């Protein structure tokens, strides 16, 4: 294969550290003397031939990606269907890559992105175009299989645990004459990794969170109300963490909104306020609820040092794997030991990752279904260690985040219509 160029794209919900992966990709390409492009708004940008010319960016701005949240090049939620159903899109992708001599394609995303990466590798092969496709892991949901953890999760886990700890101190201060129950809703459609990480906030009996509601455990209203009531009577207040994907005994989301997103995933409403209002109507306690939503995945000021390091490592490995001729693989994180905490990066085939969802192991959930076990704590604790604080502007007091020019390379093909979903 001729050396060619490399294209990097971001996909799905972004994280506090996805740009650290982007920074690693760019750094490694520069060291290996490979020309790199960034896709504007993920796979949509590739279809539209909107390729960001990274050679025109200031080096200082590119270096600042290492500590900048969000997705610097733009992400998307755009579902490519099967090769048969969406063949014109796949062929267009190959046309764009061919026009710009892209021989290495890195797609940074989660489950659906791994599937897209695998399909692009397959269509390139069927069309006789030499292309090495690497799926690079990212998702705050932590639900990719094979890898020990997903870059982005360690930071959202740290944010969640810290937020629960701090908010609970507030509630504890006021519970004598004010709020008795605080409910915080966190992300997690089918897997309760983020909700479970909230359990790190408490280390002793009766420490918050007092109740965690997982997607893996069917909601039992009577048992929940009994736990809340007993906790308030004993401790004075009760902190509840609920995953957005909480289901009832019939397997239906409690907060199902009745619509779906571009990937066919059910849109979820606010289970946090729903649970809080339920407590009010059944027990009469004054409550407050919070839905961090985007805050939990964009809080770069509270990023985990381990998470930032792992995000950079998978980006570096992704480029190295592509240049070494690997195709349809993902750089995954393998935990070598817990004490001391050690890890390494190794390749895994996308066929073992695409469209497979890793749930919270049953032995991570306490017997009563409302907390985490020692096994869960041993898994989570190393992932939130250390701080990777961004630099702050001395005048404004705000973080100094990267601002890119995002100039597009000259187009070589006719315009292409993409039906945004």
In order along its 421 residues, the chain shows pLDDT tens digits of 558 999 999 999 999 999 999 999 999 999 999 999 999 999 999 999 999 999 999 999 999 999 999 999 999 988 888 888 889 999 999 999 999 999 999 999 998 899 999 999 999 999 999 999 999 999 999 999 999 999 999 999 999 999 999 999 999 999 999 999 999 999 998 899 999 999 999 999 999 999 999 999 999 999 999 999 999 999 999 999 999 999 999 999 997 754 444 445 555 668 999 999 999 999 999 999 999 999 999 999 999 999 999 999 999 999 999 999 999 999 999 999 999 999 999 999 999 999 899 999 999 999 999 999 999 999 999 999 999 999 999 999 999 999 999 999 999 999 999 874 4
Which pLDDT score is estimated for 257?
52
Instruction: Report in angstroms the alpha-carbon separations of 397 from 16, 62, 95, 389, 400.
Output: 19, 22, 47, 13, 9
Q: What is the pLDDT of residue 258?
A: 47
As a CATH number, domain 5-139+301-356 is: 3.40.50.450
Domain topology for 153-295+376-383: Rossmann fold (3.40.50)
Type and span of the H or E element at 136: strand 132-137
**Nearest-CA neighbor of 162 among 17, 268, 333, 295?**
295
pLDDT at 264: 53
CB atoms closer than 10 angstroms to residue 74: 19
Q: Which residues are catalytic?
A: 141
Residue extents of the structural domains in the chain: 5-139+301-356, 153-295+376-383
Q: What pLDDT, on a 0 to 100 scale, did the predictor assign at position 85?
A: 87
Judge contact between 186 and 296, C-beta under 8 A: yes
Locus of tokens 């192991």: 361
385 φ, ψ (degrees, to nearest 5):
-75, 145
Q: What is the pTM of this model?
A: 0.94
Fold match, 5-139+301-356 / 153-295+376-383: yes
Q: State the pLDDT at residue 68.
A: 98
Question: At residue 366, what are phi and psi to the nearest 5 degrees?
Answer: -60, 160
Q: What is the DSSP letter of 9?
A: E
Q: Cα 121–122–128 angle (5° rounding)?
A: 90
* CB count in 10 Å sphere of residue 98: 18
The answer to whether the beta carbons of residues 38 and 52 sit under 8 Å apart is yes
């Amino acid at each position: 294969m001729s050396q060619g160029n490399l294209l990097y794209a971001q996909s799905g919900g972004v994280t506090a550290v996805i740009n650290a992966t982007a920074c690693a990709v760019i750094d490694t390409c520069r060291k290996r003397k490979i020309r790199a492009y960034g896709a504007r708004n993920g796979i949509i940008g590739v279809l539209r031939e909107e390729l960001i010319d990274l050679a025109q960016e200031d080096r200082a701005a590119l270096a600042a990606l290492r500590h900048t949240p969000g997705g610097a090049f733009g992400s998307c939620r755009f579902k490519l269907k099967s090769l048969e159903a969406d063949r014109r899109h796949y062929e267009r992708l190959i046309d764009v890559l061919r026009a710009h001599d892209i021989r290495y394609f890195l797609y940074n995303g989660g489950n659906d992105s791994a599937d897209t990466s695998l399909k692009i590798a397959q269509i390139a092969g069927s069309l006789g175009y030499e292309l090495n496709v690497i799926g690079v892991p990212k998702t705050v949901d932590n639900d990719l299989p094979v890898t020990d953890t997903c870059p982005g999760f360690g930071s959202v886990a740290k944010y969640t645990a810290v937020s629960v700890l701090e908010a609970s101190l507030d509630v504890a201060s006021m519970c004598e004459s004010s709020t008795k129950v605080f409910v915080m809703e966190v992300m997690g459609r089918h897997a309760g990794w983020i909700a479970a990480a909230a359990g790190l906030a408490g280390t002793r009996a009766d420490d918050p969170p007092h109740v965690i509601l997982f997607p893996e455990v069917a909601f039992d209203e009577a048992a929940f109300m009994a736990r809340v009531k007993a906790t308030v009577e004993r401790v004075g207040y009760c902190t509840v963490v609920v995953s957005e994907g909480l289901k009832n005994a019939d397997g239906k989301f409690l907060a199902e909104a009745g619509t779906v997103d571009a990937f066919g995933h059910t849109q979820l409403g606010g289970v946090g306020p729903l649970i809080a209002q339920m407590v009010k109507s059944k027990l009469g306690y004054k409550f407050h609820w919070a839905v961090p939503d985007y805050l939990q995945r964009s809080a770069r000021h509270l990023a985990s040092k381990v998470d930032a390091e792992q995000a950079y490592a998978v980006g570096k490995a992704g480029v190295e794997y592509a240049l070494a001729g690997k195709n349809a693989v993902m750089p995954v994180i393998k935990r070598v030991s817990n004490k001391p905490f050690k890890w390494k990066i190794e390749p895994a085939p996308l066929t073992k990752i695409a469209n497979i969802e890793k749930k919270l192991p049953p032995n991570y959930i306490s017997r009563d279904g409302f907390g985490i076990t020692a096994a869960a704590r041993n898994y989570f604790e190393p992932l939130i260690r250390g701080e990777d604080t961004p630099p702050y502007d001395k005048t404004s007091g705000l973080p100094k985040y990267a601002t890119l020019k995002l100039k597009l390379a000259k187009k070589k093909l006719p315009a292409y219509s993409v039906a945004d979903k």
